[in-house]
Amino acid sequence: MTNAEMAELLTMLQAAGLPNTRLGTNLLICPMPNERGGRLHCDPRTRQWKVSPGYEAHPAFWVTWVGSATVAAWLGSRLPTRAEAMEAPAGARAYNCDYAVGDTCPVLEPGWRSMAGSTTGAAHQP
C-alpha cells in the first residue's frame, strides 16, 4: 500500500468517526517525524491525512498489525495465517547475508578531524 492510498483510507476512517488513536494508542499507523521515516501526517485543522511531498507512491511505513489487517480487508483480502507465513520462506536460501554490519568506513562529524596516523577513524576535537 502506498502512502497516498494509506492517507486516503485514514482520512476516510477519520471522517467516519474512527480516528487512528484511542486513549493515546496508535491503532493503524504510528505517525513519525520525517527524520524517523514518517511520511503520513494528520492535519489537526482539516482532520485529513497528508503525505510528505514526493513520497506519495512510496510504501507506507510504521503500519501496525491492526492497520495491516484493516488495509487487507479494505482491499478485499486478508493477512496470511501463521501457518501460511511460516510456509512461505520454507526452503528459501538467504542471498543477502554477506553484507558488512555497521559502518564500513570511518565517518567524521563536522568540526572534528582525524587523529594523525589513525586508521580506525578515531577523532578528536580540533
**What confidence score (pLDDT) does residue 114 get?**
47
pLDDT band at 44 (very low <50, low <70, confident <90, very high): confident
More confident residue, 91 or 60: 60
pLDDT band at 70 (very low <50, low <70, confident <90, very high): very high
**What confidence score (pLDDT) does residue 120 get?**
45
Reported as a single tens digit per residue, the pLDDT across 77-113 is 999 998 998 888 887 776 666 656 554 555 454 554 4
CA distance 11 to 29: 12
What is the value of pTM for the model shown? 0.65
Reported as a single tens digit per residue, the pLDDT across 45-55 is 999 999 999 99
SS3 16: coil
Say which residues have a Cβ less than 8 Å from residue 14's Cβ, sequence separation at least 6. 20, 42, 47, 48, 49
**What confidence score (pLDDT) does residue 97 get?**
63
Query: Does the pLDDT of residue 126 top 60, yes or no?
Result: no
Q: Is 94 exposed, middle or buried (0-12, 13-18, 19+ CB in 10 A)?
A: exposed
